[in-house]
Structure 1
Amino acid sequence: MGEVKVIGSTKSLFCTRIEWALKLKGVEYEYLNEDLKNKSPTLLKYNPVHKKVPVLLHDGKSIAESLVILEYIDEVWTQNPLLPQDPYQRTISRFWAKFSDEKVLLGSFGACKAQGEEKQKAVESAHESQAFLEKEIEGKKYSGGESIGYLDLTIGWIPLWISVMEEVDEMKLIETEKFPFLHKWSQNFMETPLIRECLPSGEALLEHFHTTISFLRSLEANKQ
């Protein structure tokens, strides 16, 4: 169904979820790895609004923003559906995907970045968001049941990226005893060969996070 390309970065969790979706659907694609420090004319052409990855190119048409791309992929390639068929359950999946990106992901990253007196508050805030997600996936192998779906791809950053954040800042963001269902879900998700083959190198990701966190902390320090 036409030529498919992904403009992305192998260190970006938002790009990895797109690769997972395409592989689950059995869609062949070309990956255009972007240097985010020196953005290419191709990226600027196909995502002139935000100028960021990921971008999906399908027969020359561009789609930006990872959650939007996931829904596009699910509508175009109907095999192995990602979103539930029931309209209410689809809405619920979208709600938790948005919550995960805006609260769980940003909260976890904020806890990693925070220092001094703000550190404990940031960690507690991250745990509060994670607790909601823990309850949502309680007792489920995957978010939608027995097969990987839309929400699983959205929160698929948790197993690797959280462990990198914890190592960078020498803290614990998701404790097994406190979040047993998230821990079990992470194990199920990572046991899938298709999921593992798209993951970036842990070493490269660790270096990337170290650089990013140091840079953001220096910006905060300069504001004071």
Structure 2
Amino acid sequence: MNLDNIRIVLVNTNTPGNIGGVARAMKNMGLSRLYLVEPREYPHEEATWRAASAGDVLDSAVVTATLEEAIADCQFVVGTSARGRRIPWPLLDPRKCAERLDGVSDDQEVAILFGREDRGLKNEELQACNLHLNIPTSEDYSSLNLAMAVQVVCYELRMLLSADSLPKAEDEEWDSPFTTREQMELFYEHLEQTLIDVEFLNPTAPRQLMARLRRLYSRVRLDEMELNILRGILTETQKRIKGIR
């Protein structure tokens, strides 16, 4: 995946603030090439302040009079579409689209098109694309702000790019070894005795207290440092009880 070969193309954007929001969304995810096809108002101070620290993306944005100019040198074009079309076209969600672009963007120019805030891309604009991209949303409210839509797509591209550096499991980069079964059994013995010492547990009528506490601690995986902290608390509690007595 080469993000430098991917350009975000906004077609006839109505609100300059959305342009700034898109620039910020792009920079968050490591994309920098923004193309603006006949924006209604640009440059504009609203775009500048909405971009926050992504002013460099705005400064390098390419403004064109037509979509043809914006994508003329591209080998692969994706068009975002919020609705079904009369003529079926290859259609992917953002994650599958990112996977499709992986490799393509290594040596080819790629454009991802986003249409007008109120009506998206026209049919003839979508017909200039190799595939269409749809962001699944709730049926109760399917409207996405332009910057939000760009953020979703750029996020999936970033995730694919960063896949090799992300932990493969939740505990892959843990800072302390996890406890063994033997260590946990010693902890439960220590916990039970402490609860007896503070008279919270009646050994003659234990009911299901220890079973429930076992279930509680079994829902998480304690590491050795965490277990040492808990046992240290129990030890100090026992010392205080003995001192009082």
TM-score by length of 2: 0.22
Greater fraction strand:
2
Q: TM-score, normalised by structure 1?
A: 0.24
The structure with more radius of gyration: 2
Instruction: Point out the structure with the larger helix share.
Output: 1
